[in-house]
Structure formats: C-alpha cells, structure tokens
Chain A
Amino acid sequence: MAIAFVLNGESVREATAAPSTTVLDYLRTRAHLTGTKEGCAEGDCGACTIAIGRADGEGVRWQAANACLMLLSQLDGALVKTVEGLATGDALHPVQLVLAESDGTQCGFCTPGIVMSLYVLQQDGAADDATIHEALAGNLCRCTGYRPIVDAARALCAAPQAREPAVAAPRPSTAHGAAGELHLSPDNLADLVALRATHPEAVLIAGATDLGLIASKQRRGFSLAISTRRVAELKHVTREPDGLVVGAAVTYADGLPAVEAAFPAFGALIRRIGSRQIRALGTFGGNLGTASPVGDTLPVLLALDAQVELAGPAGSRWMKVDDFLTGYRTTALAPDEVIAALRLPYLAEGEQLHVWKLSKRHDQDISTVLAAFRVRIADGVLVSIEAAFGGMAERAKRARALEAALTGAPWGEAAPERIEAALAADFAPLSDHRASAAYRRAAAANLVRRLHLATMRPDVAIEVHAL
C-alpha cells in the first residue's frame, strides 16, 4: 500500500502521507528538500520542475514535470530527481555550473526549475533553438530576459552527457491508502473497468494536469481516485489500417512522434499544449474527457472526424468525437465507462490538415481561438472541408455553416462577409479575460482567410513565428 519511489537515488516507501498530497508539498515539507519552489501552484511557472525517470533500454529517460500538480500517488514506481540530486557534494553538475557561469541566475527563485528542465533537455544532446525554447516554455524567469539561460542550454546541448545507467524502479502497487484516502491504480483494462463500475463516485485521474489544480490550489484531496496511468492497454499508439489509434492514457509526450508523423500540423499544435512538464503527464484521453471549450486537441479531433472508444462492463463501443462532446465540459461518457482510445483516420489522398492556435503568448498559453481545417482542393475548387473551432462556443465544435458555405465552391478568396455570416451562424462566442467576442469572431474569420493563403499562396508569409 505504501507509495514507493526512488528519490535522488534513495529508496522511499511512503505509507502515511495522503496519496493526493502534491509532490511539491511532499518534497518541501516532508522530505525537507526546499530547492524545489512554489511559484504559482498551477503548473505554469515551472519553479517546481522536477525530473521523473523511467528505465529506457540501458539508461534512464528523464522527463520534466511540475511537482505542484503531481499527486504523490503518481510517483509510485517512479524515479524522481530534484535539484538537490544533481550536485555531487560541493561539485556542481555541469548543468548547474554552466548556468551559473552564463550569469543565468539573478533572483534565483526560478533557477532550480530551470536547472531541471535543462538537465532533462541535455540528455537528448544536440538541440536547435526551437527545441531549446520548447524545453524552456514551461519555465518562467522574471529577471534575466532568458538570453543567458538559452546560451547555457546551447552550450549544454553541444556537449551531451552519457545517459545515466538504468536503476531498478520499485514495483508499483495497485492501491494506495493513507490518511483517509484511497487511490487505485489498476494495471489492466478489465480491472479499470471493473473498478469504474464499482465506484462511479470515484474521481478518474489520467495525468492530473487539470485535476491536480484541485489538490494544488484548492488544497482538497481525492478521497477515492482511480488512475489510468498504469493500464497497459491504454498506453499504446498503433497504426491500424483505418487510422492511428491512440490509447487514452498515452501522454502527449509519448504520443507525439507517431501523431506528428501522421499529422504534422497536429504535432506542431501538441508542441504548444502546456509545456513539456505538462505534456509529460497530460494524456489524449484526459483532454477529451475534460471536454473543455478550449481543449486544444478537440477541434483537431473534430476536423479529422476522429472516433473515441468507450470501455464499460458490457464491452466497448465506438462513437464520433463530435457526438461524444455534448456541451460545456460534458460528454456522453456513462458513469461506468472509461475512455479507452481514439482513432484518428488518416488523411485521404489530396487532403491537407491545418491547425492554428491563437493566444496571448505563443507558448504555454490557453487558446483564445483554435481552428482546425481538413480540406481537399482540386482544380481551384474546395471539394471538401471539415472545419472545427475551439474557444468559440461552450464546446469545441464543427463550423457546419462555414463548411456548407465553402464546400464545392471555387476556392478563390471567399468574400469576408460570407465567411463572417457563416461563422455567425455557427458561433456566438463569449467575451472573457482572453479576448472579446468581437476579436474571436474577427480572428476566426481571418483564419479562414489564412487557410486560403496557406493552400493557394505558398509564397505568402502567414505566421510570425515561421519567420
């Protein structure tokens, strides 16, 4: 029942802390490792970044993660490294030394998190600037202006370290109970479904990148939780004849290579979902199950006409994602079901997928508007279009009026008024702190114009970040 992990090389068996204690709280107040900082407790600043490792061939593969959002029960069976685990006595680890020598610290509060992100980045060796920024997207620094940190990253990636030899990870267990909480982590789908059916009141946890906020910010635990993270059947990505099947518990990080290979535009979007810290834990199934109106993958799933597999006591059923999403954070999932997998149909010959996310900041931001378009153009005619938007309605939604207005028409630049009228029929967006309804309407219409340029005018620059 104890939660077992290896922390900075030492075996830990934690039997008394509540399983929904955040890893950050655990490290700071129980393990007295105060190098890991709380900057925001919402997974956005990265001051709490730690490394989570797993055996990968001969070595350990480390991933950066936000300790503030992680529940202690998620550490079961893991290798954990904090900033205190890098230096050998007084001898700094190369990452620490290079960052210090680059004048990459000022107030130093974000530094341990940045050290950990760079430590994880460095294991992959050579990295271009885009990769470096991607690795740092989950770490905010308010002092330096980042230039010295990026310099340090370049220097480190030019001199990769040998992979650390694999360490035996402790055997995870299927149940953790302490302090009045019970967290269940079944390792197969049958058990998961059975537990779900027995405990419809339990919280179903995948990566906890959203639910973790309840523990982190509201400081409320989960008295009964069921985790999908060890369910082997939900952790595969397979290329099947009729589409790419992505298990519900596949993390963004693990799914990225296969998804990006099949759908480059989807891959590019995934690289902008949260940060690497978030993508190490967040899952495709979790994003769908949360059914947020700004869930970044959802418009893409809709544009691809993806299906979702729901597993329950009576077996599994497939349905269209469009039917699965029923409203604001509501879905067609029955209380005794779990999301098992997604099937992403491949693009047909001649089809293109374009995905654009608008937000105040390029990285690690929630979408203001997200548009996904699957189009086929032949002889200047828009033969077919599947268009879906996030941030425009109570749920991610297909733009049926827009599709109707454009399908089969000559794919010249459609009159802006026609696009706007169609989108007005499709959506009545809200104003919030991200943007006004007027901006959302205008930007959505303009993304259709961007689509025209992307498909017809490859000579025209259409994205500032592509410059």
Chain B
Amino acid sequence: MSRVVHAPARHESASAHVSGRALYLDDMPEPPGLLHGVLVLSPHPHARIVSIDLSAARALPGVVAVAAGDVPGVNDIAPIRTGEPALAQGVVEYVGHPVAAVAAPTLDEARSAAALVKIEYEKLPALLDLEEALAAGARVAPDQMVGRGDVDAALAAAPHRITGEVCCGGQDHFYLEGQIAIAVPGEDRDMQVYSSTQHPTEAQHGVAHVLGLPFAAVTVEVRRMGGAFGGKESQATIIAAIAALLAHHARKPVKLRLPRDVDMEATGKRHPFRIRWNVGFDSEGRLAGLDLELAADCGNVADLSPAVVSRALCHADNCYFIPAARYRGLLVKTNTVSNTAFRGFGAPQGMLAIEAVMEAVARHLGLPIEELRAANFYGDAPRNITPYGQEVEDNIIAEVVAELDGRADLAAWRRDIAAFNATSPIIRKGLATMPIKFGVSFNLTTLNQAGALVHVYTDGSVHLNHGGTEMGQGLFVKVAQVVADAFGIPLDHVRVSATSTAKVPNTSPTAASSGSDLNGMAALIAAQEIRGRMAGVVGARFGVPAEDVVFADGRVSAGNQSLSFGEAAKLAWQERVQLSAAGFYKTPKIHFDLATAQGRPFYYYTYGAAAAEVAVDTLTGEVRVLRAEIVQDCGRSLNPAIDLGQVEGAFVQGLGWLTCEELKWTPEGRLATRGPSTYKIPGSRDVPPDFRVHLLDRPNREETVLRSKAVGEPPLMLAISVWLAIRDAIASVAGEGPIRLDAPATPERVLEAVALRGGHAGAG
C-alpha cells in the first residue's frame, strides 16, 4: 500500500456532495416546534433609536420578538475590542444593522411579524465615503505602524522619488451557503447551537455572553459549511447569538437563515483600501525608503480590522527588502457594514500596494519590472530582515520565479504579445507576473494552537475530531490522511466527525491558512500517542521492543509476526490500555509584540509566482484573461489534489476581486449590489482558458506536519498578476498619460484608464 499522505485523495464528502446527501444546516431534519427567525434591519446609515415597539409582532400567535433590551447577558460580541452589540443598542451605524429579530412557526409568518416591528429613528449625520471619513478623522481603532529606519532621510537622499495613489475595492465573500444558525435550548438553560461558522469557539462565547451563561453551558457544532472564505469567522457569531437569543425567549429551537440580500447587506466584507506612497530609489531601482499609507475602510466597528490591518502592514514588503520603511495603517470608520476577514486578511491589499509601487518605479526608470523586483528581493544578511523584524530564513522566491520563467518562457510570451499588439489597434494584450511571499501563522501568537481528539475502536476503525472546521477546503481529508498515515491504515478507516466545542475546546478559528498546519499536527500528536501505547502492547505480545513495531499496510508488525490493526486495537483493549488521546499543538518559534509591531510573527513563509495574459478592448473596457501560469510552494503537499483546488480557486477568487466584483452603494448608504444578479463573481468562462498550475514539491524547512505548507490564502494574491497585466495592456496604448486604474478593473474603469492614457488605441 502506498502512503495515504503526499498523495491525491478526494474530498471526504465528495460522494455526499454530488449525490445531494451532504447535509448543510438548512437541510437537517427540523426539530419539533422549530421557529424560523427573521432580522429587522436598519434603513438608515446612522441614527439614534428613539423607540422600538415589538408589541404588534408579539401579538401574533407563536411569535417571539427581541431587541437589545431583551438580552439577558451582555449585548457585546466583539471579537477583538468591545462594544459591538449583536443587536443595535441605542444607535444604528449602517444600513442593514440588525436592530430586532422575530421568530415564528413559519418563515412567512416571521416575515409578516417582522414587518410589524415599529422602530422610530432620529437620523444622524453619516460618513459614507472613505475619503470623507478620513478627512473627519473617524476611526474604529488606533492607527498602526510597522517600520524601521529613518524614512525621511532615506527619501531625501534617494536619487529618485515618486509618489502615487491607488484604491482597491471590497469584496463580498459570496459563499454559496448563506449565514445560518439553529439554536436548540436544552435543560437548565443549556444552549446547543448548530452554526455555519469557521470559529465555533467564538460563536460559543458570543452566545454565552448574550445569554449570560458560562461557556460550558453552550455547545456549538458545525459539520460543514457551504463556503466561508473568512466571512463566517466573526460574522457567524452575530447570527448564532441572535438565533440563541430568540430560542432562549421562545424556549423552542430557532433557525435563523439569512436570505442572500440580507446576508450581503448585514454582514461584512473585504476591506476597501486607499493606498498612498512616497518611494525613494536609485537608478538601478533599488528601493532606499518607502513611506506607505494604507487607509482601510473598516466599516462601523472594529470587528477583526486591527488584525486585518496588521497583516496588511506585514505583507506590504512582499518579497522585497526595504532598508527604511514606514508603513502606516489607518483604521477608518464609515457608516457601512463592518468589514471583516476575507481570504488573505489584509495581505492582498498590502501586496497590491507594494506591487503598485514596484510597477511605478519600473515605469519611471524604464526597467522591466521583473528585473527591478529581483534587485530588491530579500537576500543574505543584512538584506533579510523584514520591517517587522523577522529574519527571512527560508527565502526561495528567486527559485520560484525562475521555475515560472522556465515553464512559461516569459520572453517568448512577451514577444508574441508585442507582435499581436503591433497589428491590433483595438484589442490590446498585456502580460504581467506576480511573486508572493506570505507569512504563515496568526499574527496574534496566542491563536497558534490547536487540539484534536482521536479514538481507536476495537475493530480498528478510528474516530477523528479536531478544532478545525470544514468549509470546502479539504481540511478534514488532509487531517484524516495524516492520522491514517500515522496508524498505517487505509484512509477510509478514519471517520471525521463534526467540529464541536464540547469535543475540542478553546479552539482558534479555521483561518489564516492554518487549518491543516495546526489541526493536522494536533491530530498527529494524538495518533502518535495511541500508536505508542499500541506498540507497547503489541511489542510485549511479540516479545520485541516497542520501537521495533511497525504500523503499515493496515497491519501492526514486527519481523514476521503481524496483527491486523483491528486485532492490535482489540489486544490493547483487552490489556486495558487507553485507545483514546487528546493531542495538543502550539506553533514553535513565534512571538510578536503588538505594541512595537516587531517580532517573529510567522513560523515560515510560503512562496509563489504567477504570470497572466489578458486582452483588453480599448473601445469598451471589456477584459478577458487568456492564460495564467502559476508556480506555488506547498511544501511537501499532504494532498496535491486538494492543494491544486485551493490554488486554482484562490486565484479565480482573486481575479474576481480585481476585475468583475464591484460593490456599489446608493447615495443614501445602502448596498445596491445585494445579490448575484448585480454582484458578479467569476463564472466558468472567466477562468483563463489556458490555466496551468505547478505545485513545487519540496519539504518545508520548518517542522510542520509532514513538512507541508499552508495553501488556502497565498494563491489569491497571485491574481494581482491579472490586474498588473491589464495595466500593461493599457500601457501599450499610444500616449504618454499615466496609468491610473483602481481595482476592481471593471470595463468602466478600464475605459477611463485608456482615455487617461491618451485615448483609444484604435484612433486613426
């Protein structure tokens, strides 16, 4: 039997997915007496709540209705700071802010009841725009700074200096399964909550706070999510808490499932950023100093924004050594929905910033950007220290870029594009590359821990549970592979069970690409513990030392003596040896001082590079991605099939962020793009028809689980190649004007950029 790790294995639910038998929360058989919840949302971006009258709603048979005043515990579910209520308290701060909630025996009855909730508002001035809010000095949290050196002196002394600005938009997660929770009251005020959440522990805490319960009285469980992408980290807690509040008052189970438009209006998204820079460099393009300002539109409350901005600042170096750096992060408050975690978690915006700088420098000097980047890559000491003080010890970016070039033959590719453009007045092609270095670990050191629970039964079957959640990324199969490998048994002998705060407590969110690093290692530790005990029993039976006992091919053997794994488990049970273990893992070597923004926040870095070719219509601004080549470092991949899916999916999601996905608000501050009819994520035809992904297969130099590397987020940033390629195509248009193209590069923005450049390519 070949090893079950470092080999492709299907998603553990693949058969259930395709047959329609995979149960999502809304598919679960409904408990008797279940009520259906509906949210009542604020129609104003900023207003004082003068009064809330729930009486008409409550007068309907079987209806419960709640508002902030009905919270028995503390109306605060803030994940980082405090003062973020589950239901608006005294004031509403965005259109879509949940103010009240009702539940009724049917969804239609609940909707009718919700319409009877009377709320009186006194409108207050609202900040709807990032620029306006910046000017007003509005913040959700203190500004942040990462940097070193005397930037002003470096800029003053640099032979060249340029400044610039670029903006990038937000992004809706558009998980296909919307936010949902089912709260089931138990005995003695206990609350069981089924939540589509990436962070069961935070949902547990949120429910406990709101209901005034000890954490131990609340159990949160999630088997699978229909996508999450960061959108079900803190945001799921809001839904779980309100569902539990309704269930508490109704003394009945309550399902709260947000329709798509409510989901898009009421829950947070990726942060839009305004990026400004002042960079100094020499004639070879070596950066001397960089003053970078990242203004993040955080929405109405902090939520996870401090951590998002921190990660943005820690990725605005990307792969480059910058001797003097001052990266400032502004956590701007606007009266819009609170922006939140989204795959990449600030790193995409940070990397887009530095790549806009690199492109500007390259254009200024007339140098190929790849040459300029190479001149600035992290290298040997002292050019190997990041602005936040971490030594880059595992730098392979030059090799990754060389691998990409070897596979894609960039020079020939560029020649083909130039030849096309020479005879194509309207459609212009562009090509750009994108290198990435992505730090793996939560910036907040505490979160880098995980637990797992492994039981071996006497028939040799294995029950696996850990704190990570399955949102489609294939975490469950990867961790199961690790456990199966540890026991030397086939993958299908390992059953993964729903994530539950009652089985593995005090967990971190499944986020920051850390799922398999953390939970895989915790599960491995638990499995090794049991294996060690079984080896002792079997060694004693065979008369050999425990270390001579081998677990492979479904058998436990030493020399020519052998038992099946099940026989060995039964033997251990007969010998009264425990066949269950809890594994615990904490990432070594890491530390980060949030006050000084210095330390070693990341256990290791992962690297990648992409090249993308686009075609741009200079008459309409339409864009099509024609080809993409990717090289992605996954360490020794636990499961190349799953990792390939992560790389492709992340790239396409990033492509959507930077091209077709545009969030628009009405002048009154209401999200205008509230569904897929108006908010366009990529479809199958938007994927480059020539799309090649190569996974580098080389062990992580750090002792991660079986030397693998994280993969969930990094490839999203490879899609910045697409945005740069569009700019490259625009630059091919005759004219001398600047390239000013914000993201997303919608047809409208592209056409504007073409006009700014000097008109249409086809003039004449």
Contact = CB atoms under 8 A, between A and B. Distances in A.
Interface in A8-36: 28, 33-36
A147 B648 contact: yes
A439 B261 contact: no
B673 A433 contact: yes
Contact of B747 (A41, A106, A360): A360
A363 interface: yes
Contact of B680 (A41, A112, A149, A360): A360
Contacts of A56: none
A124 interface: no
B620 A446 contact: yes
Contacts of B374: none
Interface stretch (B50-58, B171-179, B363-371, B378-386): B171-179
Contacts of B699: none
A270 interface: no
Contacts of B644: 103
Contacts of B680: 360-361, 365
A150 B687 CA distance: 10
B663 to A, nearest CB: 9
A107 interface: yes
A42 interface: yes
A148 B687 CA distance: 11
B615 A442 contact: no
Contacts of B10: 100-101, 103
Contact of B19 (A37, A92, A150, A439): A92
B624 A464 contact: yes
Contact of A464 (B27, B622, B641, B678): B622
B473 interface: yes
A34 B685 CA distance: 29
Interface stretch (A71-79, A138-146, A160-168): A138-146
Contacts of A378: none
Nearest to A366: B677
Interface string A166-204: 000000000000000000000000000000000000000
B751 interface: yes
Interface in B141-194: 173-178
Contact of B676 (A137, A140, A362, A464): A140
Contacts of B624: 362, 464-465, 467
A41 B678 contact: no
A358 interface: yes
Nearest to B228: A107
Given A144-B645, A146-B687, A219 B108 contact: yes
A99 B18 contact: yes
B24 A109 contact: yes
A149 B27 CA distance: 24
A145 B685 CA distance: 10
Interface in A308-331: none
Interface string A86-116: 1100001001110111010111111110010
A150 B684 contact: yes
Interface centre among B8, B616, B685 (most CB of A within 10 A): B685
B598 interface: no
A255 to B, nearest CB: 23
B681 A142 contact: yes
Contact of A107 (B426, B471, B683, B760): B471
A107 B175 contact: yes
A106 B649 contact: yes
B176 A110 contact: yes
A132 B684 CA distance: 9
A453 B426 contact: yes
Contacts of A132: 684
B17 A105 contact: yes
A107 B261 contact: no
A64 interface: no
Interface centre among B641, B682, B684, B687 (most CB of A within 10 A): B684
A417 interface: no
B20 interface: yes
B641 A103 contact: yes
Given A358-B620, A462-B427, A464-B624, A107 B684 contact: no
Given A37-B24, A41-B259, A435-B748, A108 B17 contact: yes
Given A41-B260, A42-B675, A460 B424 contact: yes
Nearest to A137: B683
A431 to B, nearest CB: 10
Interface in B728-764: 746-748, 751-752, 755, 760, 762
B398 interface: no
Contacts of B686: 361-362
A368 interface: yes
B174 A142 contact: yes
A443 B260 contact: no
Nearest to A107: B472
A63 interface: no
A140 B683 contact: yes
Interface stretch (B207-215, B219-227, B454-462): B219-227
Interface range on chain B (Cβ under 8 Å from partner):
35 or more
Interface range on chain A (Cβ under 8 Å from partner):
35 or more
Contacts of B19: 35, 83-84, 86-87, 92, 96
B550 interface: no
A433 B259 CA distance: 21
A83 B17 CA distance: 10
Contacts of B178: 39
A101 B648 CA distance: 17
Contacts of B696: none
Contact of A108 (B226, B260, B687, B755): B226
Contacts of A149: 684
B751 A442 contact: yes
A47 interface: yes
A100 B751 contact: no
Interface string A351-366: 0000000101111111
B21 interface: yes
B615 A467 contact: yes
A239 interface: no
A334 interface: no
Nearest to B259: A41
A133 interface: yes
B664 interface: yes
B74 to A, nearest CB: 33
A439 B762 contact: no
A42 B224 contact: no
A100 B15 contact: yes
Contacts of A92: 15, 18-19
A45 interface: yes
B327 interface: no
B227 A360 contact: no
B224 A108 contact: yes
Given A37-B24, A111-B17, A361 B682 contact: yes
A144 B645 CA distance: 6
B747 to A, nearest CB: 6
A36 B177 CA distance: 12
B691 interface: yes
A394 interface: no
A144 B648 contact: yes
B14 A100 contact: yes
13 contacts: A37-B176, A103-B645, A107-B227, A107-B472, A109-B176, A140-B176, A142-B175, A145-B649, A362-B686, A446-B620, A446-B760, A461-B424, A464-B617
Given A439-B752, A465-B624, 18 more contacts: A83-B18, A100-B11, A103-B10, A106-B227, A106-B473, A107-B176, A111-B17, A141-B176, A146-B683, A217-B261, A360-B662, A363-B684, A365-B680, A366-B678, A432-B672, A435-B748, A461-B427, A464-B623
Interface of A: 28, 33-45, 47, 82-84, 86-87, 92, 95-97, 99-101, 103, 105-112, 115, 129, 132-133, 136-137, 139-150, 217, 219, 358, 360-366, 368, 432-436, 439, 442-443, 446-447, 449-450, 453, 460-465, 467
The 4 A-B pairs at the shortest CB distance, nearest first, are namely A35-B20, A107-B472, A109-B226, A108-B17
